A and B are shown apart, each in its own frame.
Chain A
């Protein structure tokens, strides 16, 4: 029985590695700058948002190191959206293989998520350089950020599992998600500091941070950039309340994984 489990995960591991490697090879094929684009894209988006919101609309002027916080938010948000957007179509796109051979289907979603994770880690290096240039002080809480990234990874993976399994049955999901993601972007405090909301209503700020993406972005800003960034804990003052978004993330992951596992034996017929 143990041997069986071993060979089972051995196959998944082999497949995962090969799919991630393939994804990397294919991603920026035939482009001159190649992999640099995964750094340039968020940087250019950052420049645009910086000019519009910070220079022009004067958002976040009173927040220390806001530009770094802004870039961090963009990078984390991009990771989330990359996992969900590539994940949603991943199963259907691999339909040809699914119909020909049996393999653990979760590897498909895991592979696209791991690709995005590697991408994120490279982007974080850029942020580190950016932080050094901006003289952001090195804080002990920085050590918390890997856990926050893990939470983001789990949450994104759960969403991707759920969406991709639904997408096999219902193609409208892609469009629905597009709209939802657009709304979630503004609800995740990516382009504005939470202080902006907090000044008007602490209740709304709290509700905003129940969203795991917002909570993760804000907590990472707190942990890595500046302790003056408000977090759900600092607003509510309660550990119980502060852990609600973490629960949401874990529950969503569990639901997504459960639904995916339940549906995956029928992918070959439905895809």
Chain B
């Protein structure tokens, strides 16, 4: 008794799903290659791409469930299998209730038809009969704000108008389970907002929603639970927060793997060169007070004076803070050839999550006579609990004062 009740709460279940794509080196879409291929069938080389292997998870009724994964992780294939567009090579997907996939808005829209005709066509693909659309038509048009354009051909619509109309039809879909692809939320900021508002309203209505995305912040905002997919497998599943942290880690690990040495990131006349650099801690969390690193440079000849500097750059290349000895009123004068100078740097921990790079410089007063200019000399990673969209996250204090009206 108890068991059946439990089972009825599962809205969608994915059991042992694997998907292989067979990629022939040459696609057999002509007779000649088919015949040639048939004769060489024994040594015909095909690549089997394992897009997914052994995927297992269950989505409960009324859950907002996230499927998180990087590009190429197989999450889109999984989405298409859940939507029954692709057949799994192994395993099964089953669901209870009406499932409507939103892999793209406005499926079936034809530019040669009018807005009105397209509403009926798109609606039919989503399972609406003429009568059902008739009943919702005014609502759809009003929501899309296209009252004066419905009798015009869709080819005369702007892309924004098309998306609005498509979205308007989509929001009328009465499904028990919605499969939503992240690409839905494309377009301008106001449209994205509208999309996310719609997601929120779905969440309030206790619909079962499966949201596929590589955008961690969106998953974090909406999902109750999630699975993390990487390299065709489920890496983790559970509460959104855990999954999101795993995802960040995955992302950082992958950057580490790709790390190579660049040769074009260092230049200068070489009259003084950095010889020793060391980072106190390569990973910064909220527990650390500061980022500390020591650098040592050696004068290759007698120098009257030199200015040493450093700056920090985000992974996207935005140089967000830095300074040099001159600005800090530190004077490095009369250096003999072969002399080594060590600088101990300390930056307060204002860093946002992600990878950061340290750039080092040695130059004269004019700024143009560079001795050693070294971009991306070192890097460090930041992993904090607090997610911030800003480049820096210094401690910010808010004091609240309220005065009652007299």
Contacts and interface: CB of A to CB of B under 8 A. Distances in A.
Interface stretch (B61-69, B79-87, B335-343): B79-87
Given A17-B130, A26-B113, A100 B85 contact: yes
Interface stretch (B120-128, B360-368, B388-396): B120-128
A269 B104 contact: no
A268 B101 contact: no
A268 B112 contact: no
Given A11-B127, A14-B127, A170-B31, A97 B107 contact: yes
A34 to B, nearest CB: 14
B30 A25 contact: no
Contacts of B107: 97, 100-101
Interface in B257-277: none
B87 A266 contact: yes
Contacts of A266: 87
A170 B110 contact: no
B21 interface: yes
Interface string A25-39: 110010000000000
A18 B131 CA distance: 12
Interface in A74-127: 97-103
A169 interface: yes
A265 B87 contact: yes
B130 A99 contact: no
A11 to B, nearest CB: 5
A15 B125 contact: yes
Contacts of B83: 101-102
B108 interface: yes
Contact of B110 (A26, A98, A269): A26
Contact of B101 (A11, A22, A97, A102): A102
Interface in B75-106: 80, 83-87, 98, 101, 103-104
Contact of A18 (B21, B104, B121): B121
A103 to B, nearest CB: 7
B147 to A, nearest CB: 22
B129 interface: yes
Contact of A103 (B31, B112, B121, B125): B125
Interface residues of B, number: 31
A170 B21 CA distance: 18
A18 B85 CA distance: 21
B30 A269 contact: no
Interface residues of A, number: 29
Contacts of B30: 170-172
A22 B85 contact: no
Contacts of A21: 120
B405 interface: no
B34 interface: yes
A227 to B, nearest CB: 45
A171 to B, nearest CB: 5
B117 interface: yes
Interface in B99-155: 101, 103-104, 107-108, 110, 112-113, 117, 120-121, 124-130
Contact of A99 (B28, B85, B110, B124): B85
B329 interface: no
Contact of B85 (A7, A17, A29, A101): A101
A180 to B, nearest CB: 14
Contact of A269 (B21, B113, B124, B126): B21
Given A100-B104, A269-B86, A29 B124 contact: no
A199 B101 CA distance: 63
B34 to A, nearest CB: 6
Contacts of B117: 22, 25
A7 B84 CA distance: 16
11 contacts: A11-B127, A14-B129, A22-B113, A26-B112, A29-B112, A100-B103, A101-B83, A101-B126, A102-B85, A103-B125, A266-B87
Q: Which 5 A-B pairs have the closest CB atoms?
A: A18-B124, A102-B84, A172-B31, A100-B107, A268-B85
